[in-house]
Structure 1
Amino acid sequence: MGVPFTFLHAADLHLDSPFKGLTKVPDAVRERLRESTFTALGGLCDIVRREKIDFVVLAGDLFDAADRSLRAQLRLQRTLGEMTALGVQVFIVHGNHDPESGRQAKLDWPQGVHVFGSSGVDCFPAHTRNGDLAAFVYGISYPTAAVTDNLALRFKKREGAPFHLALLHANVDGDPSYDNYAPCKLEELTSAGFHYWALGHVHDRRILHEYPHVVYPGNLQGRSIRETGGKGAYIVSVSDTGSIDMRFRDVADVLWQEIAVSIEGIEREQELKNRLGSAVEEVRQAAQGRPVLARIRLAGRGVLHDKLIQPSVAEEWLEELREWVGAPEDSEGWIWPESISVRTGGVLRLENAAEEEGFLGELLRRGLAAAHSPELSKDLLDEAMETLRRQPKIREWLETRTHEERIEWINQAMELSVSLLREEDAG
């Protein structure tokens, strides 16, 4: 029997993330994004105050770059000081974005902050605010940015505590969406004797296993359109018998959202305008006052397809949509359309067009066959992009694309081919 306690599990703060790649962004949007990781960090501190948290675990990538910005280090020092002033301990490991080898300012962390080293797995006692022993917390930091060893195998449970928590920045079961650092297998974690694995590295929140718990809380603030929706941390309450209750708290300051708008069943631009306006307003209402960066994805089949794929048409729709939603500086809960992607299809289905004889039919049959084979999809794209593949960086980027991404490109190419060749025949 132990004592009941509550801890906060967060990871991947990426403080002072630069938010690269945004073009034509108003100053109000850029400044809000620049502060968003720090605002989310403040949200963690608010949770500690409201929820009577006993201790906090931060599972790596607190900073966005190995050479941490001074601003990020000072902000973190101040926030951790506010937490420890409440009687809360904080346990930290560093990951691939903020390894020990990175350049750091010479700052003193507040008393009660425990940073794990990289030479081996250390163990620290975690206490409740009343001073009772709650758990042993184990962890290890990255010495350099690229750690390919299985760090999980170094964790060994020690006797003397009612609860054992392992803090690790790692890729479990080789998720291809993330760099395969500190690779390990789920069964290695569940069989190691720990009650809770507090993980970092994956930016989606995932509960991989319960009893023992193996958990990714995701990152605190979405940094691109690939990281949509609410972001935050888990509040984990452990009873005196060891039962675990988890509650997710969203602390993201700015939301990223993808908005799907179908062109099916509409024939006029006015109908598309109405659908776009309604979809954007729904997202604004759901955000409940938080700013949103949105990517609009036009999908479905319809007669407007041929017009939408014309050069500059999507950009014209985007510019008009930005005018409709208003300037970000005019509203606290603004929405900024980041881009419009056209993923529509013509009225004629590809499967039907593929039955034709001739060049178009043969092209579509190859494309449709590739949809069912990762090998064929890769071969088809390699053939189509033979010239581009001569550039090392482009070749490396193409090699890391998933089958799903390749199929999306192939489908777009097939739809464009149908539209262009049909237009040529009609002319």
Structure 2
Amino acid sequence: MRRFRFLHAADLHLDSPFRGLSEVPRPIREVIRGSTLSALDRLTELAIREGVSFVVIAGDVYDLEDRSVRAQLRFQRAAERLAEAGIGVYIAHGNHDPLDGKQLPWEMPAGVKVFPAGEVETAVVRDPSGREIAHVHGISYGAAQVTENLAERFRVHDRSVFNIGVLHTNVDGARDHANYAPSSRAALIGKGMDYWALGHIHARSVLHEAPYIVYPGNLQSRSMKETGPKGCYIVDVDEDHAVQLRFHAADSVRWLKLTVNLKEAADEQQVKERIEEQLALLREQTDGRPAVVRLILTGRTELHSVLMQTAFLDDVIADWNEREVQLCEQQAGSCFVWIEGCRVRTSGLIERDYWLEQEHFVGDLLRTAAELRQDETALRQYAEELLADLLRSKAGRYLHDHGTRSGGNFLTAQEPDELVECLEQAEEWLLDKLLGGEAG
């Protein structure tokens, strides 16, 4: 068998609507909304530049069952460019773009293979001389909700060639994604594939080697739940079926969280300067990409009470963002750094160790918070009980339905880290109100 190379991507979510951007100025908003399509262009250019034999896409090419015309046209154009370069495309559709969704009758170029629903189909990949180099096995979702373990349908027919399984699946029940086409790592290992090209989980992950079981993550972040570089894998296969993975970032807008330590900041001017210094450094680290940033302010500072009132920070952020809009307009969207929001995680100059030892309400509060941080079950139960009480009021129901502008809202929090974040925010607020900056 000769060496070959392929590209593994998943979860493109083309033309995602990016809900919640209505208040973002139009120049910034348009760049963000076009980011999934721009990421597809980057993927196409990468595949051609790297000289891959074929591209594998493991589900959710589109964001909705009723795919937008814009998304379909852009994908067709990308497929045509790949076909011109002699690169085939193998697609297994997932829960966001099942085969029963509406699609216009576009003619895809030769070399694009869409796997059917209902049964696993095997596509034979040949090198330029006509020799078989790989079998690509795949199955698509016929409808949006697939609860069957589709991995059980996969079979290897010829071990002399490299076998790739393409599947949109939740392996071992990842909690942050719907449990569609559930499978297990052990079952996938036992199927005899050389490489499992998976989709559905948006966090990049290599679950196993020999055989490789790989989630490339989504191609383009769409919220603060998906921070950091996003892209795809270039996979090199040698004569002995040995695999080498190389991740390539393909995102066109990067979503990031930026922690700014305000320890011992003496005044508002120092706060502003530290924030802007860190934002300037971040701009240099995004490889020329625009960025959407959430600020996380930390550190013990006597300005904690000022920061918690948000008015000062609102003005600092508005001033920065106004300049970024101007930059976006002047440079056609290149390399802006847009502040999406800010989370204040600073603390006042309060001697926690002192109060932890006191037989006092403040000491009880700190000890209770510490215990809840260490016990996820107890924290979740506490939050549920408090939520039940609050939802009996009109204000509580409104907050639950609409959230809070500053984030960290336990009324809508689900994950353990979200609950801990809310707990810590409530703890700092209470300490500030109870002690009023008292040191001990």
Q: Which amino acid aligns with 1:41?
A: L
Q: Does 1:172 align with 2:174?
A: no
Tell me the percent identity: 39
In the alignment, is the contact (CA less than 8 A) between 1:314 and 1:342 conserved in 2?
no
For residues 367 and 105 of structure 1, what CA distance do their matches in structure 2 show? 55
How has the CA–CA distance of structure 1 residues 412 and 204 changed in structure 2, closer, same or farther, with 3 Å as cutoff? same
Q: Which amino acid aligns with 1:233?
A: C
1:102-181 → structure 2 map (5 Å cutoff): 102-159=101-158, 161-181=160-180
Q: Does 1:412 align with 2:425?
A: yes
For residues 252 and 70 of structure 1, what CA distance do their matches in structure 2 show? 22
Counterpart of 1:131 in 2: which secondary structure? coil
Q: Does 1:353 align with 2:352?
A: no
For residues 147 and 399 of structure 1, what CA distance do their matches in structure 2 show? 27
Q: Which amino acid aligns with 1:368?
A: A
The aligned counterpart of 1:57 is 56
In the alignment, is the contact (CA less than 8 A) between 1:260 and 1:297 conserved in 2?
yes
For residues 95 and 167 of structure 1, what CA distance do their matches in structure 2 show? 11
Q: Which amino acid aligns with 1:141?
A: S
Task: Tell me how far 1:311 sits from its aligned partner.
Answer: 4.7
How has the CA–CA distance of structure 1 residues 402 and 283 changed in structure 2, closer, same or farther, with 3 Å as cutoff? same
Task: Tell me how far 1:394 sits from its aligned partner.
Answer: 4.7
Gapped runs of 5+ residues in structure 1? Answer: none
Which of 362, 383, 388 does residue 385 from structure 2 map onto?
383
Counterpart of 1:300 in 2: which secondary structure? strand
Task: Tell me how far 1:370 sits from its aligned partner.
Answer: 0.6
For residues 383 and 347 of structure 1, what CA distance do their matches in structure 2 show? 31
1:205-216 → structure 2 map (5 Å cutoff): 205-216=204-215
Deviates more, 1:254-263 or 1:364-373: 364-373
Deviates more, 1:128-137 or 1:165-174: 128-137
In the alignment, is the contact (CA less than 8 A) between 1:133 and 1:161 conserved in 2?
no
For residues 98 and 346 of structure 2, what CA distance do their matches in structure 1 show? 44
How has the CA–CA distance of structure 1 residues 94 and 350 changed in structure 2, closer, same or farther, with 3 Å as cutoff? farther
Residues 188-225 of structure 1: per-residue CA shift (max 9 Å, x gap): 11121100000111112211111111111111111112
TM-score (ref. length: structure 1) = 0.93
Counterpart of 2:188 in 1: which secondary structure? helix
Q: Which amino acid aligns with 2:369?
A: G
For residues 366 and 56 of structure 1, what CA distance do their matches in structure 2 show? 53
The aligned counterpart of 2:330 is 330
For residues 57 and 274 of structure 1, what CA distance do their matches in structure 2 show? 46
Q: Which amino acid aligns with 1:279?
A: Q
1:271-310 → structure 2 map (5 Å cutoff): 271-310=270-309
Counterpart of 1:319 in 2: which secondary structure? helix
1:183-262 → structure 2 map (5 Å cutoff): 183-262=182-261
Counterpart of 1:123 in 2: which secondary structure? strand
Task: Tell me how far 1:324 sits from its aligned partner.
Answer: 5.4
Counterpart of 1:386 in 2: which secondary structure? helix
For residues 246 and 399 of structure 1, what CA distance do their matches in structure 2 show? 38
Deviates more, 1:52-61 or 1:140-149: 140-149
The aligned counterpart of 2:407 is none
Deviates more, 1:254-263 or 1:363-372: 363-372
Task: Tell me how far 1:23 sits from its aligned partner.
Answer: 4.8
C-alpha RMSD over aligned residues: 2.3
In the alignment, is the contact (CA less than 8 A) between 1:170 and 1:183 conserved in 2?
yes
Task: Tell me how far 1:358 sits from its aligned partner.
Answer: 4.0
How has the CA–CA distance of structure 1 residues 69 and 291 changed in structure 2, closer, same or farther, with 3 Å as cutoff? same
How has the CA–CA distance of structure 1 residues 325 and 34 changed in structure 2, closer, same or farther, with 3 Å as cutoff? closer
For residues 155 and 352 of structure 1, what CA distance do their matches in structure 2 show? 62
For residues 323 and 350 of structure 2, what CA distance do their matches in structure 1 show? 33
Q: How many residues align?
A: 424
TM-score (ref. length: structure 2) = 0.91
Residues 343-402 of structure 1: per-residue CA shift (max 9 Å, x gap): 11222254543433343333332222111111211122123222444669959x968712
For residues 66 and 187 of structure 1, what CA distance do their matches in structure 2 show? 31
For residues 52 and 424 of structure 1, what CA distance do their matches in structure 2 show? 62
Task: Tell me how far 1:160 sits from its aligned partner.
Answer: 6.4
Deviates more, 1:147-156 or 1:412-421: 147-156
In the alignment, is the contact (CA less than 8 A) between 2:413 and 2:419 conserved in 1?
no
For residues 237 and 84 of structure 1, what CA distance do their matches in structure 2 show? 20
In the alignment, is the contact (CA less than 8 A) between 2:167 and 2:198 conserved in 1?
yes
Counterpart of 1:44 in 2: which secondary structure? helix
For residues 266 and 197 of structure 1, what CA distance do their matches in structure 2 show? 51
Counterpart of 1:286 in 2: which secondary structure? coil
Gapped runs of 5+ residues in structure 2? Answer: 402-409
For residues 187 and 99 of structure 2, what CA distance do their matches in structure 1 show? 26
Q: Which amino acid aligns with 1:301?
A: R
Residues 71-122 of structure 1: per-residue CA shift (max 9 Å, x gap): 1112111211221222222110011111122121122221111111111111
For residues 285 and 371 of structure 1, what CA distance do their matches in structure 2 show? 36
Counterpart of 2:388 in 1: which secondary structure? coil
Task: Tell me how far 1:269 sits from its aligned partner.
Answer: 1.6
Counterpart of 1:15 in 2: which secondary structure? coil
In the alignment, is the contact (CA less than 8 A) between 2:27 and 2:325 conserved in 1?
no
